[in-house]
Structure formats: C-alpha cells, structure tokens
Amino acid sequence: MIGYLDEDGTATVTGRRLPADQAAAACARIEDLAKAAKRAGHPGRIGSLRADIYLGLLEGRWQELRREEIITDLLAHATPGEAAQKPTPDGTSDDNLTAG
C-alpha cells in the first residue's frame, strides 16, 4: 500500500499488485455501499461517498458492522452541505468518477 500527501493538502492512498479478484470485489463493495446510501437518501455526491466509505473501511470504523448498519451510520453523519457541487482538481464533478 502506498500513501502520500498531495499539494492541495489532501492525500492519495493506493495499492499496487493486488490480486485482481480481491481488488475487484473491494471496489464492488464500495460501489454497492455508496449506491445503497444514495438510495437511502444520503445527500453527498457519489464520488465523495466512495471516498468516505473507502477510508471508513480502511481505518476499521465499521469493522463490526453489517451493511445496513454502515449505511445507517453514513446517513447519521451526513450533512446538508454535502450535496453542494464539489469539483475535482480538474474541474469536473466527482459524480463522473468511477470506482476502480
């Protein structure tokens, strides 16, 4: 796993040479949770949700929780301001980003 600070004060965390099937399953789980949270009414952008879920899973925040409990926690900690357009550094919306 590789992590480094970006110029804008954010960070990038990535993995290399991971087993393809496990990496695909991990990306699919993140995508599934993000879409489920959106369907449940989370106001955040899908790309931001993916990032929040990725970090939450990595840091172990939901280690003992089931899928439904993770979604409930995401909804409980959502803020109305999350619905605001958050452009990415290249000026596009994070809704256009895909997991993977």
pLDDT digits over 4-32, tens only? Answer: 999 999 999 999 999 999 999 999 999 99
Task: Give 35-63 pLDDT, tens digit per residue.
Answer: 999 999 999 999 999 999 999 999 999 99
The predicted-structure confidence for 68-95, as pLDDT tens digits, reads as follows 999 999 999 998 776 654 544 444 445 5
The per-residue pLDDT for 91 is 43
Q: How many separate domains does the chain show?
A: 1
What's 29-84 look like in SS3?
HHHHHHHHHHHCCCCCCHHHHHHHHHHHHHHCCCCCCCHHHHHHHHHHCCCHHHHC
Q: Does a structural domain hold residue 55? A: yes
pTM value is: 0.78
- Specify if 5 maps to a domain: no
Domain residues for the domain of 61 are: 21-78
